[in-house]
Structure 1
Amino acid sequence: MKTPSVFRTFPSSTLSSNTSAGSTLAAITLALLLSLTAFSAQAQREAWTTPLPGFQVIDNLYGVGTYDLSVFLITSDEGHILINTGLEDSTRLIRANIESLGYRLEDVKILLQMQAHWDHTAALAEIKEITGAQMWTTAKDARILEDGGFSDPHFGGRQSFIPVSVDKIIREGDMIELGDIRLQVYEHPGHTEGSSSYSMTVNENGRDYKVLIANMGTINPGKQLVVDPTYPGVSEDFASTYRNQKAMEVDVWVAAHGSQYGLHDKYQPGQAYDPDTFVDPDGFVMAVERLEQIYLEQLAQEQSR
């Protein structure tokens, strides 16, 4: 099998006899780290852009994003809600997935997002213009959406996506209503200061399912908790999110990345619809606990400095 270019070796001339063993080892180590980083970034980009056919999660909740970047459509007879958009060039793919399910992008009335990072928000402005939908978000993510990511305390300092105007601020406990949709808002900060999750109850074959569209408390590389914290209170925000999520009653859950909720272990394209496909209450608790353990380890490491 051909070795990927990111793992190419260096010519022997670069390791001349005049180079000390220590500096040679350092050069090889650095080259390997750079190669692995490049390979990881390439693999991530492919997962974020590879198309995935639209699919039914449960009842009126559908996945319409890419292989790993989640975009969710919640449908009603009076219009639809779209959560997240993926990268800037995702609109065509999202439209195609929505249409393959028998719906229209133009019938989206409300736009939501789970976190104000470019990989989930970059097509919001375009889709808002196409649909005329209202953009609803939390107060602390609103300013990041409106300046295109410039004020993001971790990735900011530059515009990373097209700014989108916010029409309504939503808060913990709010109920978003559209047609027969009843979607409750949860503020789950940490990943971003204004991160949010959404829940609803659906009924399939006489059974109620508690469904959570969860923004998970992942800690991006380089994010600081207590030593020069990325933003004031970030450590407390993560702790509260883990605590609150573990206390939730969940039957079906999905997340901002397919890899976070085991999408490709639970579902394969073309698989027959079954309302129990994504039932995974124990998996949700385990996922939160894994992230909490990573948080506690980083917290202890920072506090020991």
Structure 2
Amino acid sequence: MPIKFLPGIALLGTISGLAGAEEPSPLPQLEAYQVPESWLQPVPPLKIGDNTWQIGTEAITSLLLKDPAGAILIDGGMVQTADHLLGNLKALGLQPSDLKLILHSHAHADHVGSLAALQRATGAQVVTNAESAILLASGGADDIHFGDSLLYPPVQADRILHHGELVTLGKLRLQVHFIPGHTPGSMAWTWQDKVDGKTTNIAYVDSLSAPDYQLVDNPRYPDIVQDYGLSFERVGQLPCDLLITPHAGASGWHYRARAVQEKPTDCRAYADRAQKKLERQISAQKVTQSARGHAGP
């Protein structure tokens, strides 16, 4: 049988060789996930529609949908925002137990960091898809692009969705749309609400960006480019009178004293802009890859 643990034997030899040598430096400290202050700046409940409220922070969206049967939360922001969100529920006349369902866009720490605490405090059911459920259960560990750098308290899913499925509570009817790319489990949500007295198709659409992602020959996500292409097509076809995004600025929103969309955009334009940026990233990576190949070993 082959001998195992040869690397360990070599390491022991190296360690023994250090006897009498200069003491090695301490290992580095862990670094916290640092984010812009606007991601953590609390805002009061801001009305978007008759039943739709932004209750998150200045730059990160957390939407609360209200109905006499209870409330639905979409996204919870960073770990630090749980108490703030519960406070905004109270400001809207709701008790923690009134929150019945927790949905989300994608399972990164800046959008689902508080969900475990909210789930405990409210008893609400977490509703997601299979891809996101795995990342939620691991607390963000072993992320395809970020490894273990975006950790948060693990969250257990209560219901697993299929693409196109409806989620209902009282008169609230939301449809989920799978838009893989930013993460394999990224989602968009659509519903109707009255905005300024007019029935409006609202689309809450996940990020379509690829921040420093490996797009060419990614061994962990071989179909990443194809998935983005599918998502651009789906987003462009959503019912979308009013677009809202997890990062407010991506769809022109500013959350301060009021929720204001200073630079309105629609889903088609949002998808087209993201597609052009992705194509530039792919071209740049192919050039870099080709240059490395010509450089040789």
Aligned-partner residue type, residue 257 of structure 2: P
Q: Does the 8 Å CA contact 1:54/1:97 hold for their aligned counterparts?
A: yes
Instruction: Give the drift of 1:202.
Output: 2.2
Tell whether 2:244 aligns with 1:254.
yes
CA shift at 1:291, angstroms? 1.2
Q: Does 2:224 correspond to 1:234?
A: yes
Q: Which amino acid aligns with 1:209?
A: T
Give the residue type in structure 1 aligned to 2:274. L
**For structure 2, which runs of at least 5 residues remain unmatched after alignment?**
1-32, 291-297
For the Cα contact (< 8 Å) 1:216–1:288, is it kept in 2?
no
The residue correspondences of 1:201-220 to structure 2 (distance < 5 A) are 201-203=192-194, 207-220=198-211
Query: 3-state DSSP class of the match of 2:273?
Result: helix
1:29-60 deviation digits (Å, cap 9, x = unpaired): xxxxxxxxxxxx97x42011111121111121
Instruction: Find the residue that maps to 1:202 and give its secondary structure.
Output: strand
How far 1:226 sits from its partner (Å)? 1.8
Could you say which residue in structure 2 is the equivalent of 1:303? 286
Letter of the 1:293 partner, please give it.
K
Distance 1:258 1:204, change over 3 A: closer
Matched, 1:62 2:53: yes
What is the distance in 2 between the residues matched to 1:202 and 1:300?
Answer: 41
- Asked which structure has the greater CA Rg, the reply is 2
Please state whether the residue corresponding to 2:69 is helix, strand or coil.
Answer: coil
> Which among 269, 274, 290 is matched to residue 273 of structure 2?
290
Are 2:138 and 1:147 equivalent residues in the alignment? yes
Q: CA deviation at 1:135?
A: 0.9
Partner SS for 1:208: strand
Q: Percent sequence identity over matched residues?
A: 29
SS of equivalent residue, structure 2 residue 182: coil
What TM-score results when the alignment is normalised by the length of structure 1? 0.78
Measure, in 1, the Cα distance between the counterparts of 2:196 and 2:105.
Answer: 30
2:226 corresponds to 1:243: no
Written as runs of structure 1 = structure 2, the 5 A alignment for 1:1-305 is: 44-157=35-148, 160-203=151-194, 207-221=198-212, 223-264=213-254, 268-270=256-258, 282-304=265-287, 305=290
| Number of corresponding residues | 256
Query: Closer, same or farther in 2 for the Cα pair 1:209/1:91, shift >3 Å?
Result: same
Q: Which runs of 4+ in 1 moved over 6 A?
A: none
The alignment's TM-score, normalised by the length of structure 2, stands at 0.80
Q: Label 1:260 to 1:104 Cα distance change in 2 as closer, same or farther (>3 A).
A: farther
Distance 2:199 2:126 in 1: 29
1:247 Cα offset (Å): 2.0
3-state DSSP of counterpart to 2:80: coil
Q: Distance in 2 between matches of 1:159 and 1:302?
A: 24
Q: Deviations over 1:237-262 (max 9, x none)?
A: 11111111112231011111111121
- Pick closer, same or farther for the CA change 1:295–1:212 going to 2, 3 Å: same
Given the superposition, is the C-alpha separation of residues 286 and 158 from structure 1 closer, same or farther in structure 2, using an over 3 Å criterion?
A: closer
